[in-house]
Structure 1
Amino acid sequence: MTLTALGIPRRMLTFTLDGAETRVPEDTTILDACRAAGTDVPALCHGDSLAPRSTCRLCVVEVEGSPALVPACSRRAEPGMEVRTATERVRHSRRTVLELLASSVDLSTTPGVAGWIEEYGADPDRFGPVAARLDAEPRVDNDLFVRDHGKCILCRRCVDVCGDQGQHTFAITVSGRGHDARVTVEHDAPLTDSACVYCGNCLDVCPTGALSSRSEFDGRVAGTWDESVQTRTNTVCGYCGVGCGLTLHVQDNGIVKVTAPQDDPVTRGNLCIKGRFGYQHVQNRG
């Protein structure tokens, strides 16, 4: 058992963040240190409950002595390290990454991206109409959730949470290479013919909306989905005695989606099919 598991505090270390002396516990990533200090560093592939993959490269920063920019989500802070998060070199890298991503996939349902594009002066249209944009039709093959490859940035967070960092179902993986790479199930079959158990945990970790609940997808298509008016209420699932925490998303006096709080001590952001999708009986007014 580790010291942190026993609750023994970690030692503190000191490093320089944008010219200011910063103290953080050992083993803290630069990204977590930035967020604790109130420094905004964009990131898409980072998930609090998942090991960092350093895939999207939006969170890169300059570290004194390093010839290349380093991903803040996976690089640990070290004593005496000097980190700069907003140099022109960093801004140019983030601007280019945003342009490449936004020109190749649909980021319209990705939280925060519109503000980052404006902040860094990114121009996704500068690559022209011949840019290799993935215009794939959403795959609607079941009643619970939808796969929209046209919004997928291949961050692999869904693969991780379905695999050894979450559900241990291993129903999905990345197949193909280069522009043909896709998140798929075995033999690229319909989801109903795969090993998927419909826990929906992949929905919560998807940063772009490439995976969404059927209720959200249908609401967006109909033009009725409006997160700005939705309320969120934390409660406990009543299907069994485990006591999983739920967050009910309510719009027009009806539950439209269920998610799991990442800081819930029981679920750590994970749910089963009943907890996530079995809410219709709550609002059955017949």
Structure 2
Amino acid sequence: MRRMAPPARINVDRRSCPPFCRVFRGASGLGLVEDSPPDSRIEGATPLAPVVGAPYPTESMSVTAGGRIVLGWGEGVARTILIPDLAQAFDRRPPGLTDALGAADANAALLHAADGWRAVVLPSMGDRLADLGEGPVAISPDGLKIAAAGDGVIVEMTLADGSELARHAGRASCLVYTGAGELQLGEPGVVRMASGGEVVVGVHDDGTVGVVGDDRRWTPPGLGEIRNVGVSADGAWTAISGTEAVAVVRATDGAVAARIAGATAIGMVAGGRIAIGGTWGVALLGTPEDTQ
């Protein structure tokens, strides 16, 4: 891992735009331009405006430390990016990096690479536990415990030293900890889960999304294949990353508050702002008032 001085900023065009938009590069820098709104939009949703940008390729991200650190990854590099100035604290380049999962309220995360999952501390991404297997895995919001599945057994352990806390027989398609630190197992057909407070949102293998325990499901409009999902601290909103666009939607019914094409990563960060990323870098979006 390396600590690096922040590179030059990406120039941003701070003009505000309706929240149904796409990323573009113009003469004034990285900006947003209005796009066709989805039918399931929330009327009167707040406009968005770029606040700051940085040139770290960010194909996906996980928001950690109460929204103060974004763990972003792309092109084989994981980075800890500090909110709100988007300064890079550290980077790490494990061979075969494919995924990451941060603790919502703590400086801890899980990284997946060619040698399986490992637990790291943030922002340095130094190892705490290695050889966690291929998973699935989960990390509690407070960063104190993790769960790893393998060989028909799911083991919960402390992040500090790997001491076993509990052992459960069975298999799961995915795992998640609730805000109260309770482990939930994904039901058949659920490929990814995320939690905010006591609300757990699941992504199903048919591309639909819904709150776990609620029979209602909805299809995110125009995002392409879903790569990642996050839930706001109060459980009200879901941030969804797709191969073609990203969105913030109401968790209960999928009504769209924002959809941004040309980005593949999104997270809800401290200060009520949104971080987005793509091969072009990472940007922090706020309301028009944030750019004054």
User: Structures share a fold, TM > 0.5?
Assistant: no
When you count helix as a share of all residues, which structure comes out higher? 1
The structure showing larger relative contact order (alpha-carbon pairs under 8 Å, at least 6 residues apart) is: 2
Question: Structure 2 length normalisation: TM-score?
Answer: 0.26
Question: Structure 1 length normalisation: TM-score?
Answer: 0.26
When you count strand as a share of all residues, which structure comes out higher? 2
Greater C-alpha Rg: 1
